[in-house]
Structure 1
Amino acid sequence: MTLLQLNHVQRTYNANSTHPVTALKDISFTVDRGEYVAIMGESGAGKSTLLNIIATLEQPTGGQAILNSQDLGALTKDDAARYRREHLGFIFQHFNLLDSLSNRDNVYLPLVLAKTDPAVMAQRLQPLMKRLRIAQIIDRFPSEISGGQQQRVAIARALIAQPDLLLADEPTGALDSNTSAEILDLFDDVNENGQTILMVTHSAAAASHAKRTLFIKDGRIYHELFRGDLTMKKYQEEISDTMMTLTNGGE
């Protein structure tokens, strides 16, 4: 069942100036409910712009982005903020935790903004603490824990609202290789439990955890790979080869 649908999405900045910049020229793809999709491309290819449109932080200048039958471009600013809280989860490269709040309160933040009953908040937190192994650090502060632990807290914050779609922007970019592998294993577990994930990454190792990888070049979908029955190692090799071809200007 299709969860996310992009139809000929375009995004141009400074469209009325003498030097417009087109970040996205024509992007079309779908993501089914329960999928795990990675998006790759060189810097400046339009990955972040694409993620911002799906996140309702920007509106396309052409085409449509539709999530769960909702045209995201048709939302007002206030409606978009509400939609983000209720339907989207976010994981960032630099965690974006609030140092003034305990880890528990950081996790609770989306539900607090949605005025969720405290009993419901506590109930939702219990399984996340166990799955993400954060029970021992839940009442500490972000400055008191490691980067990997901070990212696990950030994942809990993203998941506690039970989002339709989890958006991850370079989620392992600030972590060492061992911690990155641990976080990516958690993503695998989350996806196996039914969570739809869309991840932007520069890392072939990270992308190899996804079931499908989209490559963006010059504002368009350049290529698409499916993991299928490939081992993760073989899939990573195919991703690396495709990125090499893309970087070298191959067709």
Structure 2
Amino acid sequence: MALLFLQDIKKSFHQSQDGPQVEVLKSISLSVDKGEYVAIMGESGSGKTTLLNIIATLDQATTGTIKINKQDLNELSENKRAIFRRKHLGFVFQNFNLLNTFNNQDNILLPLVLDKVPYKRMENKLLPLAKSLNISDLLQRYPYEISGGQRQRVAAARALITNPELILADEPTGALDSYNSELLLDLFEQINRQGQTILMVTHSAAAASHSQRTLFIKDGRIFHEVIQGQQSKKQYLQQITESATMLLNVGGTVQ
């Protein structure tokens, strides 16, 4: 069953007040089933982050249909979009987006505080989640007092605390070394096995190889798709790498 459904999504904007419109997304149609883990790859400027922002309700498509769990996002007012975002989506960003004026516990609990969840319920959610992410001893510290890998785990906890229908990750390993990248990607695989749906934008073939399916965007369209299926992770990584190379080298009309 499709949790996320996009049909003929287009996005244009003016680069300057008097300049012509630039079409960033030319026609994107895709669906992501509940429980899937999908990666999106593409060159800089291909439109992948714009697409993620539209799915995240942080931006709106110029035309097209986007539904999450059958809710048409185009029908929501700005206020209702913010509520929907908080209740149904979780976000993991490259730069963590943690507030240094809050300790780690308060950063994690912030979405629940905004929803006025009783403290006892917040605590019941926080403690097992912090244990599973190995951050229990970091809760009373502040983001600036811990390492990048630890900050990303705190950010992951904040994304997961609301039990979101969809996790959206934008270059989540971009600010991490290889060791902490693997820890985070292993965590994503773990929560995906538990049923969490994940959509991840990444420039890294190694990161994409942790997903079940990788989409490649070129010139505002989906250019190619690689599915792991029964392949080993090594074989899947090889296919992703070859596809990424093809994406860089090919020109002309997108297929």
Q: Which residue of 2 aligns with 1:4?
A: 4
Between the aligned partners of 1:95 and 1:73, the Cα distance in structure 2 is 28
Secondary structure of the structure 1 residue equivalent to 2:106 = helix
Whether the 8 Å CA contact 1:4–1:68 is kept in 2: the answer is: yes
TM-score (norm 1): 0.98
Q: Which residue of 1 aligns with 2:125?
A: 124
Task: Spell out, residue by residue over 1:42-62, the C-alpha distance to the aligned partner (whole angstroms, 9 max, x if none).
Answer: 000000110010000111111
Q: Which residue of 2 aligns with 1:214?
A: 215
Q: For 1:1-251, list aligned pairs within 5 A.
A: 1-14=1-14, 18-249=19-250
Secondary structure of the structure 1 residue equivalent to 2:112 = helix
TM-score (norm 2): 0.96
The amino acid across from 1:103 in the alignment is N
Whether the 8 Å CA contact 1:56–1:73 is kept in 2: the answer is: no
Task: Spell out, residue by residue over 1:109-147, the C-alpha distance to the aligned partner (whole angstroms, 9 max, x if none).
Answer: 010111111111101112211110000111111111100
Between the aligned partners of 1:10 and 1:206, the Cα distance in structure 2 is 27
1:27 positional shift: 0.2
Whether the 8 Å CA contact 1:93–1:172 is kept in 2: the answer is: yes
Between the aligned partners of 2:6 and 2:249, the Cα distance in structure 1 is 27
Structure 1 residue ranges without an equivalent (≥5): none
RMSD: 1.2
The amino acid across from 2:141 in the alignment is R
**Number of residue-to-residue matches in the alignment:** 251
Whether the 8 Å CA contact 1:3–1:68 is kept in 2: the answer is: yes
1:232 positional shift: 1.1
The amino acid across from 1:95 in the alignment is F
Between the aligned partners of 1:27 and 1:57, the Cα distance in structure 2 is 17
Between the aligned partners of 2:34 and 2:44, the Cα distance in structure 1 is 28
Secondary structure of the structure 1 residue equivalent to 2:207 = helix
The amino acid across from 1:117 in the alignment is P
Between the aligned partners of 2:70 and 2:151, the Cα distance in structure 1 is 33
Between the aligned partners of 1:249 and 1:22, the Cα distance in structure 2 is 20
Secondary structure of the structure 2 residue equivalent to 1:173 = coil
Identity of aligned residues (%): 56
The amino acid across from 1:6 in the alignment is L
1:152 positional shift: 0.3
Secondary structure of the structure 2 residue equivalent to 1:224 = strand
Task: Spell out, residue by residue over 1:23-79, the C-alpha distance to the aligned partner (whole angstroms, 9 max, x if none).
Answer: 100000100000000000000000011001000011111111110111112211101
Structure 2 residue ranges without an equivalent (≥5): none
Secondary structure of the structure 2 residue equivalent to 1:110 = helix
Between the aligned partners of 1:183 and 1:67, the Cα distance in structure 2 is 25
1:18 positional shift: 4.4
Between the aligned partners of 2:237 and 2:104, the Cα distance in structure 1 is 34
Runs of 4 or more above 3 Å deviation? 15-18
Between the aligned partners of 1:130 and 1:246, the Cα distance in structure 2 is 41
Secondary structure of the structure 2 residue equivalent to 1:101 = coil
Between the aligned partners of 1:33 and 1:13, the Cα distance in structure 2 is 32
Between the aligned partners of 1:217 and 1:65, the Cα distance in structure 2 is 20
Whether the 8 Å CA contact 1:64–1:73 is kept in 2: the answer is: yes
Secondary structure of the structure 1 residue equivalent to 2:141 = coil
Mean alpha-carbon deviation: is it higher for 8-17 or for 47-56? 8-17
